[in-house]
């Protein structure tokens, strides 16, 4: 920061110039490409209405290191491509920039993401007008200052990418060892049981989000299992009144709460182990699994491939996927002794903790990046 302060004092002691984006860049819409011409793997990525390529094309209409802006679909998203690419008709590109480096422009527009979103016209397909984008005011510090800001912010982005790669590696290791540890080795005596033989499923009832209170009896809404909770928790995000709690199904310590309704087969039966000391409650679209095994062992099993193939067999529905308690009771599990369960859980907990720590580090890095980006670009 001190170097930038020194550069500002030296190169623009009277302040930084500000101009409309349309005055310093040519904002050009891309060219439509026929979907039938696209390949799943190819030479040049094609950007249309998302930052993820919609496919690949044998030609390109934009050179590497160009900032682009999605104008429909996920309108308002800003991207930067360091390879040649094809800009389709819902992708706005900034060309012939005068006095502004393209990567610096990318960071400027990322800092104005909220403004961009607020100007998206809400319709069946959200759209962002090129004319509105052209009116956005941006700072134009001397190029050495732009280069230094880009260098600093690139370091943050590089750190995030390294953490993301490490998280992905840890997840792959975790998935591999989870399958290994949950599979009996030759000579080991594990029992073959059904979930119904070693526990009981209790289906929830009632509970709307409008029932939540500021305090009271802790509750887990099935939607929160997808959006808020990890595999284990000892605190609830929400509460209900004692009067309502009396009518709802009770969750005791070591019980497992499963979301039995989902929009896709992958998420149905996502679960959370209740590790708090108080009794809490659940509502509809979820079930409680009561048992006498190591709860984390059961939870890890519910994420395994062995469970997944059986879940697919019993799940039903088209737009909404559901699974019945009666069918969950039929699921077969290979069950070692409690002592062995504890050892397996200890090993898998280490992977889970590592991923959680890395994810926290990534979130902290993103927060620092956003803070410094906004501070650096205030001028």
pLDDT computed for residue 18 by the predictor: 93
pLDDT computed for residue 239 by the predictor: 97
The string over 99-108, giving b where at least 16 C-beta atoms fall within 10 Å of a residue's C-beta and e elsewhere, is: ebbbbbbbbb
pLDDT computed for residue 102 by the predictor: 94
What would the DSSP string read from start to end of 309-351?
A: HHHHHH-B-SSSEE--HHHHTT-EEEE--HHHHHHHHHHHHHH
What is the spatial distance between Cα 275 and Cα 296, in angstroms, rounded to a whole number? 10
Distances (CA, A) of 122 to 70, 136, 268, 307: 14, 19, 31, 41
The CATH 3.90.220.20 portion of the chain extends over 12-141, 191-335
pLDDT computed for residue 327 by the predictor: 97
Question: What tokens does 163 get?
Answer: 């953490």
Instruction: Tell me the β-bridge partners of 282.
Output: 220, 249
pLDDT computed for residue 1 by the predictor: 53
pLDDT computed for residue 265 by the predictor: 92
Provide the residue-wise pLDDT of the chain in tens; the chain has 379 residues.
Answer: 578 778 878 887 788 899 999 999 999 999 998 888 899 888 999 999 999 999 999 999 999 999 999 999 999 999 999 999 999 999 999 999 999 999 999 999 999 999 999 999 988 889 999 999 999 999 999 999 999 999 999 999 999 999 999 999 999 999 999 999 999 998 899 999 999 999 999 999 989 999 999 999 999 999 999 999 999 999 999 999 999 999 999 999 999 999 999 999 999 999 999 999 999 999 999 999 999 999 999 999 999 999 999 999 999 998 899 999 999 999 999 999 999 999 999 999 999 999 999 999 999 999 999 999 988 888 8
CATH 2.40.420.20 is the classification of domain 12-141:
no
Dihedral pair phi/psi, residue 167, rounded to 5°: -65, -45
Cα-Cα-Cα-Cα torsion 198, 200, 201, 204, nearest 10 degrees, comes to: -150
> Of 220, 364, 342, which is closest to residue 280 (Cα–Cα)?
220
CATH 1.10.3470 is the classification of domain 143-186+336-379:
no
In the CATH hierarchy, which top-level class contains the domain 191-335?
alpha beta
pLDDT computed for residue 279 by the predictor: 97
Residue 106's contacts (CB-CB under 8 Å, 6 or more residues apart) are 67, 78, 79, 80
């Amino acid at each position: 920061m001190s170097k930038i302060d020194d550069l500002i004092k030296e190169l623009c002691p009277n302040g930084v110039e500000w101009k409309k984006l349309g005055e310093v860049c040519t904002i050009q819409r891309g060219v439509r490409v026929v979907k039938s011409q696209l390949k799943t793997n190819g030479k040049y990525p094609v950007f249309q209405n998302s930052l993820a390529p919609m496919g690949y094309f044998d030609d390109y209409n934009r050179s590497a290191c160009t900032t682009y802006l999605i104008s429909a679909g996920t309108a308002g998203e800003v991207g930067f491509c360091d390879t040649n690419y094809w800009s389709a008709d819902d992708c706005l590109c900034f060309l012939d920039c005068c006095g502004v480096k393209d990567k610096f422009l990318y960071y400027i527009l990322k800092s104005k993401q909220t403004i961009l979103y607020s100007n998206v016209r809400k319709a069946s397909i959200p759209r962002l007008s090129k004319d509105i984008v052209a009116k956005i005011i941006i700072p134009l510090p001397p190029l050495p200052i732009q280069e230094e800001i880009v260098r600093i912010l690139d370091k943050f982005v590089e750190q995030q990418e390294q953490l993301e790669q490490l998280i992905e590696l840890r997840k792959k290791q975790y998935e591999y060892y989870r399958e290994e540890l949950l599979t009996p080795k030759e000579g080991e005596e594990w029992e073959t049981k059904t979930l119904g033989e070693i526990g009981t499923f209790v289906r929830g009832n009632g509970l709307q989000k409008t029932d939540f209170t500021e305090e009271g009896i802790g509750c887990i809404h099935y939607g929160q299992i997808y959006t808020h909770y990890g595999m284990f928790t000892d605190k609830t995000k929400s509460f209900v009144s004692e009067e309502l709690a009396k009518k709802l199904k009770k969750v005791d310590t070591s019980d497992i709460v499963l979301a039995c309704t989902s929009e896709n087969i992958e998420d149905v039966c996502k679960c959370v182990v209740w590790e708090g000391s108080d009794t809490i409650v659940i509502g509809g679209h979820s079930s409680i699994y009561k048992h006498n095994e190591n709860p984390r062992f059961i939870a890890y099993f519910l994420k395994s491939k062995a469970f997944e193939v059986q879940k697919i067999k019993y799940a039903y529905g088209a737009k909404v996927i559901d699974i019945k308690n009666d069918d969950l009771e039929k699921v077969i599990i290979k069950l070692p002794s409690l002592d062995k369960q504890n050892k397996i859980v200890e090993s898998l907990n280490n992977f889970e903790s590592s991923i959680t720590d890395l994810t926290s580090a990534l979130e902290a890095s993103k927060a620092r990046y956003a803070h410094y980006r906004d501070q650096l670009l205030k001028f």
